[in-house]
Chain A
Amino acid sequence: MAAAAVPPSLAVVVLVVVPAVNLVVSTLDAGALSGVLGDQRVWEVVWFSLWQAVVSTAVTVVVGVWPAMVVARHRFRGRAAFIGGLTAVFVLPTVVLAAGVQVVLPGEWARGASAVIVAHVVFNLAVVVRTVAAAPVPVGLEEAARTLGASRMQVARRVTLPLVAPALWSAAAVVFLFSFTSFGVVRVLGDLSSSTIEVEVWRRAIRLGDVSGAAVLSVLQVVVLAAVLVVTSRMQRSRGLRGRSVLSPVPGPWSLAPVVVVAALVSAPLVALVWGSFRSGGGFSLSGWRAFGSDEIRPGLRLGLDPLGALSASLVSAVVATVLAVVLGGLAVAVISVTGRSGAWLDAGLALPLGVSAVTVGLGLLITFDSGVFDWRASWWMVPLGHAVVAAPFVVRPAVAAVRSVPVDLRAAAATLGASPVRAWWVTVGAALRRPLAEGAGLAAAVSLGEFGATSLLSRSGSETLPVVIERMLARTGGSFRAQGHALAVVLAAATMLIVVLIDRWRDDRVGR
C-alpha cells in the first residue's frame, strides 16, 4: 500500500498544497495588497458578491422548500424524474444555463443583478430539494402536535420548521458558496455594476496581467467564505431525527402545485435555449445549426473561434480529466481506507477545491506552473489537469463515504475465512468502491465538459474548450452568432444531461435490486 500512497500524495502536494502556498505568498506583496485593498472598485465587487449571494440563497430556499416538502413526504408519478431533472440542471455548464436565462428574461432584465440571481436560483433549487428531501420528515411528531391541539399552521411553524431547519441551513450554506463564487453565470449575465470577486480575479489575472492582485482577491474570497461557513455550521447541527420518512400518497392534485411550478421554472431556460438556436434576424432560422461548426463569418473572413476544434478539445479534456481524477482519487480513497486517521490529510486536500473556487484553483495552478521549476504553462494538458482538480472532490467524497460504511469486522470476517489481507480488502472495501468510483467518473466527465472557471485561466488561445467558445459567441453582437452559440450550448447541455441521467438511472436500478 505504501507504493499506492505515492501518486495521490504527490498529486495533492503538487496540485493543491503548492498552489495554495504560492497563492498566499503572492498576496504578501505589499504593493499588491495595498493596490487591491485601496481600490474602491474591489469593495464594490465584494459588496455585490455578498448581497447577490444572500438574495440568491434566500430566494432559492424560499422557492425550493415547498417542492422539497412534497418530495420528502409523498410518492407520485414523476417524482424521480423531477429530482433527476433538477440534478441535471444543477450540473449543467454555467454558461449554458446562463445563456438560457438570458433568452427567457425580457430585454432590460436579461443582463445585470436580476438575471444573475434568477440563474443562481434555477441552478441551486436542486440543492435545496435534494438536501431537504433526504432529511427525515417528522411525521409522527407532527401527529403528536395535532393531538395536542396544534393547527396545521402551528404544526408547520412550531414542529416541522424547527426540525427541518438544520437541513435548510446546510442547503443554504452550499447555495451561498456557489452563488458567492459564481463565475460563468456572471461572465454571461453580469454587467459593469454586477461583477463577483471571482470574475474580478479573472479580470485582473488575465486581462490586466496583475497576478498578485488577483491572488489577494482570491484569498480575500476564501476568508469571507470560511467566515460564513463557520457561522452557519452551528445552525446545521441536526436535532437527532433519525430514519427515513415513509412516503405517503399525494392527498390531492393541488398539493403537487409547487412541484409543477418549480419544474416549469427550471425547464424554461432549457426550452428557451433550443428555441434561441432556431432564431436569427427576428424570425425562425436554421442558420445557427447550419453554421454549427463554422469558423467563418462569411467565406474568407475568420471568426477567430473554432467550434469543432473546441468540441474536440472539450472531449479530450473530459476524457483525460476523468481518467486523472478517478485514478488519483481512487488511489487516494484506497490509501485513506487502509491508513485511516493518517490518510485524513489526503481526504482534506482533495476536498479543498470544492470549498475554494474553480477560478482560485486555476489561478493557483497558473502561478505554480508558470515558474522556472515547472514551466508547463503552455502545455495542452494544463486544462484537463485543472478540470481533474476541480472534479476530484466529486469522485473522492462519495467514495470515502462508501468506504466508511464498510464495517471493520467485515474485513476481519473475510480474513478469518482465509482471505489474504489484499484479498480481504478487495472483496470488502474494493467491492464497495466500484460503484461510487464509476458514478464519480461520470460526474467528473460532466464537470469537465462544462468547466469554465479554471479553464478561463488555463486555456491558451487556439485550444479553447466549448464553454469558452460559447461565452465568446454570446458576447458578440449579431443574431447569427447568438444562434450558433445557442446551438453549441444545446449540444453541450445534451451531453452533460445525458451523463447525469445515465448515472441517475443506474443508481435507481441499484436501489431497486
Chain B
Amino acid sequence: MLTVDSVSVSLGGERVLDAVSLSVAAGEVVAVFGPSGSGKSTLLRAVAGLVDVDSGRVLVDGVDVTAVPTHRRSVGMVFQDEQLFPHRDVAGNVSFGLEMAGVERGERDSRVSEVLSAVGLDGFGGRDVSTLSGGEAKRVALARSLAPRPTVLLADEPLTGLDADLHDRLAVEVRSVLRASGTTTLWVTHDRAEAELVADRSVSLLDLGARA
C-alpha cells in the first residue's frame, strides 16, 4: 500500500507539487494523468526518493519512508526512456535488483526466466539490450522492475514512444501482468485513454494540487 500525504516539492526554487495527497491500496493500479510539465514525473520521483520533498510524508505499507534513501524503500520504477544498463544483457538487467537484494544465483536465474516469460520474452536473456526493438525494451524494463517484487511499482509514461497499435496491445498485456502479480502500482501518463485502459482507478494530477 502507498500513501502520499500532502507532499510538496520545489525544483529550482519553483513549486511543482503543492500538498498532493493520494493513496493506492494493496494490489491496486492507480493512474495519474496530466499534461506534460504538470509534475507527474516529479510525483513519482518524490515517492521513489529521487527528489527531496519540502514537506509532507510518503508511506509504504504504513511505514513513513520520507527520510529513507531510495534503495531501501522497496519501490520499483519503470522509466519513460527505459534506462536499461548497456553493459549488461537482458538477463543481466533483469537480475540486477535481485543481486542487490542478495538473492542466490540459482533462485535469481529462475526468477529472471519467470518474469521474462511473464512479459512475453522467453529466451531473450542473452540478448544485447541495444538490439531490442522499442516494444521489447519496454518489456525488459517492466520485467527488471518487477523481478525483485517491489512493494510499490512506479511507472513513468512507460508506454510512450510506441506506435498506436503496439501501444494498445502492450497496455492490455501490461495490465494483465500487473494483475497477475498483484503489484501495487502508481502509473502516470499524459494519455487519459491509456490511464483508463490500464488502471483500476484514474485521477487527474491537476485535481490533486499540482501547479496549474
Contact = CB atoms under 8 A, between A and B. Distances in A.
Contacts of B50: 143, 146-147
A271 B58 CA distance: 53
A312 interface: no
B145 A147 contact: yes
B85 A159 contact: yes
A140 B83 CA distance: 6
Contacts of A163: 86-87
Interface in A180-201: none
Given A162-B87, A241-B86, A144 B100 contact: no
B145 A148 contact: yes
Q: Give the most central of A141, A146, A148, A240: most B CB within 10 Å.
A: A148
Contacts of A144: 77, 79, 83, 85
B101 A149 contact: yes
B116 to A, nearest CB: 16
A64 B49 CA distance: 30
Interface in A130-156: 140-141, 143-151, 154
A239 interface: yes
B158 interface: no
B83 A141 contact: yes
B85 A149 contact: no
A147 B86 contact: no
B76 interface: yes
Contact of B48 (A145, A147, A154): A147
Interface in B71-128: 71-72, 74-77, 79, 81, 83, 85-87, 96-97, 99-101
Nearest to A139: B83
B3 interface: no
A154 B76 CA distance: 17
A239 B86 contact: yes
B87 A239 contact: yes
B130 interface: yes
B70 A146 contact: yes
Interface residues of A, number: 19
Contact of A147 (B77, B85, B99, B130): B77
A240 B85 CA distance: 10
Interface string A374-405: 00000000000000000000000000000000
Contacts of A158: 96, 99
A163 B88 CA distance: 10
Nearest to B44: A147
Contact of B100 (A140, A143, A149): A149
Nearest to A241: B86
A162 B92 CA distance: 14
Contacts of B70: 143, 146-147
B100 A154 contact: yes
Interface size class of B (residues with CB under 8 A): 20 to 34
Contacts of B57: none
A150 B144 CA distance: 13
B39 interface: no
A148 B76 contact: yes
Contacts of A240: 86, 130
Q: Give the most central of A140, A147, A154, A163: most B CB within 10 Å.
A: A147
Contacts of B99: 158
Nearest to A161: B87
Contact of A140 (B49, B74, B81, B87): B81
A147 B150 CA distance: 9
A15 B9 CA distance: 65
Nearest to B77: A147
A150 B77 contact: no
Contacts of A151: 69, 71
A148 B148 contact: yes
A240 B70 CA distance: 27
Nearest to A142: B83
A149 B150 CA distance: 10
Nearest to A147: B77
Nearest to A154: B100
A141 B145 contact: no
Contacts of B145: 147-148
A148 to B, nearest CB: 4
Contacts of A241: 86
A431 to B, nearest CB: 35
Q: Give the most central of B50, B75, B87, B130: most A CB within 10 Å.
A: B87
Given A144-B77, A148-B145, 9 more contacts: A140-B79, A141-B83, A147-B71, A147-B145, A150-B71, A150-B96, A151-B71, A240-B86, A240-B130
Interface of B: 48-50, 69-72, 74-77, 79, 81, 83, 85-87, 96-97, 99-101, 130, 144-145, 148, 154
8 contacts: A141-B83, A146-B71, A148-B100, A148-B145, A148-B148, A149-B148, A150-B100, A158-B96
Interface of A: 140-141, 143-151, 154, 158-159, 162-163, 239-241
- 3 nearest A-B pairs in the assembled complex, by CB-CB distance: A148-B97, A149-B100, A144-B83
